[in-house]
Amino acid sequence: MFRFRRAKARREEWASFENEALPHRADLYRMAKWLLGDRDQAEDLVQETLLEALRSFHRFEKGTNCRAWLIKIMYHTLSKKRRSENRLRVVSDSEEQIAETVAFEPPTPENLTEQEVLDALKSLPQQFQEVVILSDVEDMTYKEIAEALSIPTGTVMSRLHRGRRLLRAELAVYANSLGIGRRTEVRATHAGRHGEESDAVS
């Protein structure tokens, strides 16, 4: 009798996991692939994340953001992997400083393609890319991002602010080079990802 009850409970938990968590697998994979760049590594990371989520699914609070919960697990799994592989990535001061050098707030360019926007995002330091994706693509709140990345909410806010500003600056430079920038007199001093300075005038 006890065995039947246990089997039934397992089936119910799996059904619940299938409904709540598995639909977010594609989102997890996109995020993993974006972060790691390698298809196999990304697939492994997603599967490890889902296995971990399955093991601790009883801790998931029904009615809360399951995607945010899964992304949090994925970041923790990734962090553990990097620690075990001794590849912990340390954010350098110079990367933080790059964002500070954007002195002028250019108008957001229009008429750009999705691919051009993604390319611009890719050119940002990774810690800015991830907060922008988590907020603007995955719709996570500052608090959820802070929990996923294990950083203070204030750091999330400042990284988001700098990341978005950098993205707009990057896009403005690109749009101006194509002659499709906004007809606003702007002068942006922007230090790119590799530290070179460029002036953009539209």
Q: Which residues bind other proteins (CB under 8 A)?
A: 6-7, 9-11, 13-14, 17, 22, 25-26, 29-30, 33-34, 43, 46-47, 50-51, 54, 105, 107-110, 112-115, 117-118, 121, 132-133, 135-137, 141-142, 160-161, 164, 167-168, 171, 182
Which is nearer to other proteins, 8 or 82 (by Cβ)? 8
User: What CA–CA distances, in Å, run from 141 to 21, 39, 68, 131, 134?
Assistant: 19, 28, 9, 10, 8
What is the smallest separation between the CB atom of 185 and other proteins, expressed in angstroms? 13
What is the smallest separation between the CB atom of 69 and other proteins, expressed in angstroms? 16
What is the smallest separation between the CB atom of 47 and other proteins, expressed in angstroms? 5
Which is nearer to other proteins, 110 or 195 (by Cβ)? 110
Q: Which of 162, 158, 131, 163 is nearest to 147 (CA)?
A: 131
Which is nearer to other proteins, 2 or 90 (by Cβ)? 2
User: What CA–CA distances, in Å, run from 71 to 37, 61, 125, 180?
Assistant: 17, 15, 20, 37
Which is nearer to other proteins, 88 or 131 (by Cβ)? 131
d(CA 198, CA 176): 12
DSSP sequence for 61-77: -TTS-HHHHHHHHHHHH
Write down the residue that tokens 């460029």 correspond to: 198
User: What CA–CA distances, in Å, run from 127 to 94, 143, 162?
Assistant: 12, 16, 10
Which is nearer to other proteins, 84 or 113 (by Cβ)? 113
What is the smallest separation between the CB atom of 90 and other proteins, expressed in angstroms? 26
